[in-house]
Chains A and B, each alone.
Chain A
């Protein structure tokens, strides 16, 4: 069982030092989790540390492949508002 960092990661380094298992490492094009080392924080913390500091919604997935921080959960921007704003910008 391990979490996974995907391409929306912005390489902010925040997760790397908070991981109790030293499972996160800097890589190109973005940070990665070593699935052999990730313990999902079991025994250390009740919540995933990486996903508790990561500022990017959707950048870290749980072992089911689901976003631990789904759209809107961190920024407070309702997803439909975001879609609207992006569509508006595209139209210009």
Chain B
């Protein structure tokens, strides 16, 4: 079945975000699933991390079972979780394989939408082969309805492919930031290889060779491979188009370019040395330029290494170690219940996809608008509808409306850089931080907005809108876009219309 893709030429880059708390999350260009071969599309289309609409219905979780790492990245500080897979400055609760299995089954029994279990850290999963594979082995046996995925820096990958192919592994993510050792030496100060610490170009060269070899071996085994890259301006930004080409030619099915997140307080090399992350514009430009070569994704949420839950929520607190100890899980019964719920979700998704395709068709019939594109933020907790109170949203989905239709752009966390503190930087309130995270958006659609945020949003040039509660997101965004067009608000240049908070 075809995923309806409204528009794969980006109309414009995001404007207006001023660093700090306001950068977008990862994500890239259009969700070009329609260019994938059927066999892969089938695997991907219900995957909460890869399919834009599935991620409204299904959820994934991570367990932190893999503490050790075998390389150093300049964007990482090993006092915290792996900075690539998680937001920097986050520490996850380390679990033993036994605890991880228990937690996964507890979550699966209580959140039937949870279909994917990932191991991404806090170090490199394949540098902890025993802990990682023990977790996979047991889950493949005891919870066969859960898909497994793993992320790696690739150094130990060639040795792990055989073992990975024995489990219920749905896909592997390799972080590949370069294919040129000279670039690599600016990203990786050292690797641990064959009982030695190897620094500089020599180390980077080995890492790159292992990554590429591992990629080829996985493809040969028929395992899906996604590639993550961290965009580091002035270091690998120009180089990533080449990376994209290289990994695609070897058979990776998705390339996910994420922004470097770099702050001095993270204590990383880049943070301390003042290496900046990309602006939202730079990120989107790069994603767009790579997308000609590659299927890309926009809706990666840069989850924590122990994230649990659906869109816009983290229910990790309900599944802490002491709580799961007390839970009695009858997984056989849970699995039957899950299967029924998954079928219902599938049916709903199928009908929504059909509806969406029809709407897109309809839009083509209507006289085409000539107005400029607009970014809007949406508060949702899933199901593809606007159903979250502005004040309860921990993250927002950013959509772009243009005469060509509505397309998903990215997630923005309300507290992406602020660790969820009530204040940030110069004593900003949570509300101010949230509004700053929405910079560049001209409207925010949610089920309700309180009086105070209403005023502040308006003052920031972001129109609050609670009129489309419980409506499908794309339709509501289009309706608001048409209202704006009818009111003559879209004739001005975007810069003039957009106030940054």
- B68's contact among A12, A47, A77, A88, by CB below 8 Å, is which? A12
Given contacts A52-B192, A56-B78, A77-B272, contact A12 B264 (CB under 8 A): no
- A82's contact among B69, B123, B195, B272, by CB below 8 Å, is which? B272
The B-contacting residues of A in range 34-87, CB under 8 angstroms, are: 45, 47, 49, 52-53, 55-56, 74-77, 81-82, 85
A13 at the interface (CB under 8 A from B): yes
- B269's contact among A13, A56, A77, A88, by CB below 8 Å, is which? A77
Pairwise interchain contact A14-B127, C-beta atoms closer than 8 A: yes
Most buried by B among A18, A47, A52: A52
| Binary flags per residue of B253-282, CB closer than 8 Å to A gives 1, else 0 | 000000000001101110111000000000
How distant is the Cα of A81 from the Cα of B267 in the complex, in angstroms?
A: 11
Task: Give the nearest-CB partner of B78 in chain A.
Answer: A55
Pairwise interchain contact A12-B272, C-beta atoms closer than 8 A: no
Nearest Cβ on chain B to A55's Cβ, whole angstroms: 4
Task: Give the nearest-CB partner of B77 in chain A.
Answer: A75
Residues in B neighbouring A13, C-beta threshold 8 A: 67-68, 123, 128
B389 at the interface (CB under 8 A from A): no
Residues in A neighbouring B127, C-beta threshold 8 A: 14
How distant is the Cα of A56 from the Cα of B196 in the complex, in angstroms?
A: 16
How distant is the Cα of A82 from the Cα of B68 in the complex, in angstroms?
A: 24
A27 at the interface (CB under 8 A from B): no
Residues in A neighbouring B72, C-beta threshold 8 A: 55, 74-75
Pairwise interchain contact B195-A49, C-beta atoms closer than 8 A: yes
Pairwise interchain contact A14-B197, C-beta atoms closer than 8 A: no
A10 at the interface (CB under 8 A from B): yes
Residues in B neighbouring A14, C-beta threshold 8 A: 67-70, 123, 127, 192
- B67's contact among A11, A82, A88, A89, by CB below 8 Å, is which? A11
Task: Give the nearest-CB partner of B265 in chain A.
Answer: A89
B337 at the interface (CB under 8 A from A): no
| Binary flags per residue of B229-273, CB closer than 8 Å to A gives 1, else 0 | 000000000000000000000000000000000001101110111
Nearest Cβ on chain B to A9's Cβ, whole angstroms: 11
The 10 A-B pairs with the shortest beta carbon distances in the complex, nearest first, are A14-B68, A55-B78, A53-B192, A13-B67, A52-B197, A85-B272, A13-B68, A85-B264, A76-B189, A12-B67
